[in-house]
Structure 1
Amino acid sequence: MTRMRLPVTALLGANMFFSGVTYAATMPYASLVGVDTLGMSPGWFATVMSTGAICGTFVSLGLGYLSDKLPDRRILVLITALAGILAHGLIYLIPSQASFAIAMGLIMPLAGACYGQSFGYVRVYYVKHRPDRVDFMVTSLRTVFTLAWIVVPPLAGWIAAEYSIFDVYLASSLSYAAMAGIFALLLVEPRAAVQMPPPVRAKGASLLSAFELQPGILAGLAGLIVMVGAMRLLTLSVSLFIVSDLGGTVADVGFYAGITAAVEAPCMLLLAWLTTKLSKETILAAAGLVMALFIGLTSALNSMSALYWLLLLNGLGTAALMSVNIPYIQDAIKGRIGLSTSLMDIVAIAANILGAAGFGILAAGGNYRFALVCAAGLSVLGAIVMAAGNLARLGRLRPQAATG
C-alpha cells in the first residue's frame, strides 16, 4: 500500500500564517496590556521587555548554532512553539504584572526563536528539494506571514474592545499550539527530515571562525538594528499615542496595524522586483528613510483620520525592513544557514532592547509625541549606518546568475 505524502508546502504556509497570528494578535497591544491595563510603569514595562530581549539574544545564538549541528531541525521549532503556548497562555490565564513579567522576560525568549527557526527550516528544506526556488519560497512564505497582519489586528482590536484585551493572548497561545501540531505532523514525513552539511573549518581555524562576519555585513546588521529599533519604539508608542493624543480607540489600533499589513503585501511584490535591480543594502537604507518620514509626519498629527492617509509609507518601509532583511541576513555567514538565520532573532532582539529602552526613557512622562520624533531620528541614523558601511554596494545591480 502506497503511503500518502503530506503537503509539506501547504503545512509550512499554514505554519507561517499562525506564526504571523502570534505577533499580529499581541504586538500592537503589548504596551496597552502592560502599562494601561496591568498598571506597569513605562520604566518597569521597558525593563521586562529588555530582560526578555537580552535573554533571547543568548537563546537565539545557541539555537542557531545547534540547528546546524543537530540531525533534525524540526525538534527545535516544536520546542520553541511549546514555549509560546506556555508564555502567552500564562498571561491569559493569570493576568497580572507578575505573570506578564515571567512570560515576557523569561519564557518568550525561547518562544521568540520560533520565527527564525521556522525560516531556517524553510530555507534548508527548499535548498534540498527545490534549490532553484529557494529565494522565491522564502519571500512567498514571508508574504503569508504578512497576511496574518492584514486579517488579525482588526479582529483582535474588536475582540479586545468588546470582550477582554487578554483574549489576544489566548489567540496567540492557540496559534502556537497549531504550529506545534504542524511540526509534530511533519516529524512523521520522511521528506521533511532535512539538514545541511556544515562547512568544513579551515585547518588551524578557531571555533570562532564559524561566527565570522565581514565589516560591511556588520555595518548592515548594525543599521538594521537601529532601523528596526525605531520601528519597535514606534509600535510601543503609537498605540498609546492613538488612544491618548489622537482620540482613537483600541479598535483603531487594530485597524492601524491591519491597514499597514494590507499595504505591505503588494509592496513586497514590488520589493521582490526591486531586488533584481538594486542591491539589498540600497533598498534597506531607503526603507529607513521612508520609515523616518512616516514617523516624523505621524508625530505632527492631531487626528486619527489623517494617520490613515500616511499608512502607505508605513507599509512600504515596513515591508522592506521585514522582507528584504531575510535573504540579506541569511547570507551573512556563508555556508551556515541556521547560524545566519539566528541573526534574524539577534537583530530583532537587539532592536527590541533599543525600542523598549527608548520607550521607557522617552515615554516616562506620557509624552508619546516626543517618543515618535526620536524614533524618526533613529530611523535616519540606521539608514546612514547601513549606507556608510556599504558605499560600494549602494545602487549596484545584483549580479546575474551565469547561464549555459
Structure 2
Amino acid sequence: MAQETSSQLGSRIGRALLPLGFLFLAVGISTALFYPFMSLFLSTDVEAGPLKITFFLIVAPLGGVLGSVLVSRLSDRRPIRRRLLITGAVAGLIGTGLTAVVRDYWVLLALAVTALALAGSLFPQSFAYARQVLERDDPARAALGISALRTVFSLAWVAGPPLAAFLLDTGSFVWVYGTAALMYALAALVAIFWLDEVPAPAAATTPDAPVDDRLDAPRWTLWLTAAAFTLLQTPLTLAVQALPLFISTDLGGDVGDAGLLLGLCAALEIPLMLGLGVLATRLPLRGLLFGGAACGVAYYALVAVATDLWLLVGGQVLNALFIAAISGLGISYMQNMLPRQPGRATTLFTNSFPLGAMLAGPLFGVAQHFDYRLAYWLCTGLCAAGLLLLIVVRNERVPQPA
C-alpha cells in the first residue's frame, strides 16, 4: 500500500512538473538564442560603437536584476505566480519580436530594460512555482526536482547557441529573434493552458508580513549568502572569457580547443546535476554545496598551473561538478532559507549570476593587461572566498534531509 501511495505521489509530481519542463525548455532556448550573440548584433546590425555596446551590456543586466527583484516581492504576497509567468512570457514575446525588426539603439535599450527585463523574471519565478508544487506534494524531493528542472535549462543552452549560429548562417538576426519570440509564445501558451495557480506562501499572505521571523533566515545571513554565490558565480563568466585567449597564448591551442572543452563540460554537467539532486535526498545539502565549491577551487588552481591542454580536458570533471553543485543545488539552498518566500529566495540566487558577470568584466581587463593565467588565479581566489563565506555564515534553520 505504501509503495502504491509513493507511486501515485511520484506520478502526480511528474504531471505537475512536466509542463514546467516544457516552459523551462522554451525559455532556455529563447535566451540561449540571442544572449551569446548580443554584442555581435549590436556591432553589426545596429552599428553601435564600443562605448554604446559596453553601456548596453551593463545597463541591460542591471535592468533585469531590478525587474526580477520587483516581481519577486509581488509574487510572494498573493496567489498570482502563474499570472506573473504568463506576463513574463508575453513580455519576452513582445521584446524579442520587436528586437527582430527594430534597429534603433535607444529603442532597443528601452526594450532591454523594460520588456526583456520583465521576461528575465521567468527564470526565478518558474523555480519558485516548482518549489511550491514540490513542497505541497513531496518536500523530501524538492532539491531533486529543482535540479532536474535546472538540467532542462542546461539542455536548452546546449541546443540554443548552435541553433542561433545556424539561423545566422542561413538568414539573419531577424530569424534569431523571431525564433526566440516563438519560444516565448510557447512558454506563454504552456502557462495559460497547462499550469494551475498555486496558493501564496503562508508567510506572505499580507503585504505587512515580517521578513525575518523564526522560520526565515536573518537578513544578514541572506545577503552574505547571496554575496557568497556572487563570488562563486563570477568565475563562470571570467573563466569562459579568458579561455580561448589563454589556450592560444599560453598552451599553444586554438579556438576549436576552447569549444571542445566548453562542450565537454556542458555534457558532463547534465548527468552530474541530476546525480547531485538524487544525493540531496539522502545527504545534507550544505555538505554537497561545500564539496562542489571545493571542486571549483581545485579546478581553477589546476588551470592556473597547467602547461598542457590535456590537464584542462581531465579537469572538466571538477569543473562540471562545481557548476552542477552551484547552479543546481544553490537554488534549493537559498529557497530553504526563505521557505515562505520562494520568489524572493530564488531571485536572490539567480541575480548573483548577472552581478558576477558584471564583476568579471573589469577582472578580465586586469588579466588582459598582465597575463591570461592571472584570470584563473583570480577565479581560484573568488571560489575560495565564496566557499569560506558559505562556511562562516551558518544558518541552523536550513532544513536538511534526515
- Shorter-chain TM-score: which interval? 0.7 to 0.9
CA distance in 2, matches of 1:224, 1:324: 11
Matches within 5 A, 1:54-73: 54-73=62-81
User: Which aligned pairs between 1:79-118 and structure 2 lie closer than 5 A?
Assistant: 79-94=87-102, 98=106, 101-118=109-126
Partner amino acid for 1:332?
Answer: M
Aligned letter for 1:194?
V
CA distance in 1, matches of 2:247, 2:117: 28
- The letter for the 1-side match of 2:254 is G
Evaluate the alpha carbon distance shift between residue 272 and residue 179 of structure 1 in structure 2; reply closer, same or farther with a 3 A threshold.
same
Partner of 2:235: 230
The 1-side partners of 2:103 and 2:139 are apart by 46
The whole-number CA distance in structure 1 between the counterparts of 2:399 and 2:335 is 19
**Whole-angstrom distance in 1 between the partners of 2:282 and 2:382:** 27
Give the count of matched residue pairs: 385
1:388 corresponds, among 373, 392, 399, to 392
CA contact (8 A) 2:58 2:358 kept: yes
TM-score normalised per structure 1: 0.77
How many angstroms apart in 2 are the aligned matches of 1:136 and 1:53? 29
1:196 to 200, 207, 210: 200
1:303-327 deviation line (CA, Å, top 9, x unaligned): 9887555433332211111101111
Query: Alpha carbons of 1:149 and 1:288: their partners in 2 closer, same or farther (altered >3 Å)?
Result: same
Q: Cα distance 1:215–1:235, how it changes in 2: closer, same or farther (>3 A)?
A: same
1:339 equivalenced with 2:347 (yes/no): no
Per the alignment, residue 382 of structure 2 pairs with 378
Cα gap change, 1:216 to 1:56, in 2 (>3 Å): same
Residue in 2 aligned with 1:128? 136
Q: Could you report, residue by residue, the CA deviation over 1:337-364 in whole angstroms, capped at 9, with x for unpaired residues?
A: 22222223332343233234544x4477
Which of 251, 254, 261 is matched with 1:247 structurally?
Answer: 254
Aligned-partner Cα distance in 2 for 1:106–1:200: 26
CA offsets, 1:79-105, max 9 Å, x none?
Answer: 112222333344443457556644444
1:113 CA drift (Å): 1.1
Listed as ranges, the matches of 1:137-286 within 5 Å are: 137-160=145-168, 164=172, 167-186=175-194, 192-199=196-203, 207=210, 209=212, 213=218, 215-238=220-243, 246-248=253-255, 256-276=261-281, 278-286=283-291
Question: Which amino acid in the other structure matches residue 228 of structure 1?
Answer: Q
**CA distances 1:251-301 after superposition (whole Å, capped 9, x unpaired):** x77665443222111111331244356543333333334234434555677
Distance 1:332 1:186, change over 3 A: same
Q: For residues 87 and 249 of structure 2, what CA distance do their matches in structure 1 show? A: 39
Separation in structure 1 between the aligned mates of residue 203 and residue 275 of structure 2, nearest angstrom: 34
TM-score of the aligned structures, taking structure 2 as reference length: 0.77
Distance change >3 Å, CA 171–CA 386, structure 1 → 2: farther
Q: Name whichever of 207-216 and 70-79 sits farther off.
A: 207-216
Distance 1:165 1:116 in 2: 27
Identify the range of structure 1 (262-271 vs 48-57) with the bigger mean alpha-carbon deviation.
48-57
CA contact (8 A) 2:148 2:277 kept: no
Deviation at 1:194, TM superposition (A): 1.6
Higher normalized contact order (CA 8 Å, seq sep 6+, divided by chain length): 1
Q: Which ranges of structure 2 fall in alignment gaps of 5 or more residues?
A: 1-11
- Tell me how far apart the structure 2 counterparts of residues 94 and 308 of structure 1 sit (CA, whole Å): 42
Amino acid at match of 1:13: G
Q: Alignment partner for residue 24 of structure 1, among 32, 48, 55? A: 32
- 1:339 and 1:110 map into 2 onto residues whose CA distance is 15
Alignment partners' CA distance in 2, 1:20 and 1:154:
13
2:351 is aligned with what amino acid?
Answer: I
Structure 1 residue 67 displacement after superposition: 1.0
Q: Contact 2:100 / 2:174 at 8 angstroms: preserved in 1? A: yes
Alpha-carbon distance in structure 2 between the residues aligned to 1:18 and 1:334: 27
CA RMSD of aligned residues (A): 4.1
- Over 3 Å counting, the alpha-carbon distance change for 1:169 and 1:129 in structure 2 is same
Whether contact under 8 Å (2:64, 2:118) holds in the other structure is yes
Task: In structure 1, give the amino acid aligned to 2:229.
Answer: L
**Contact 1:248/1:304 (CA < 8 Å) preserved in 2?**
no
Supply the distance in 1 between the matched residues of 2:307 and 2:54 (Cα, whole angstroms).
26
Q: Please list the CA deviations of residues 119-175 of structure 1 after superposition, one character each: whole Å capped at 9, or x if unmatched.
A: 111222333355564443322222222222333344444555665577544443332
The percentage of counterpart residues that share the same residue type is 26
**Equivalent residue number for residue 329 of structure 1:** 334
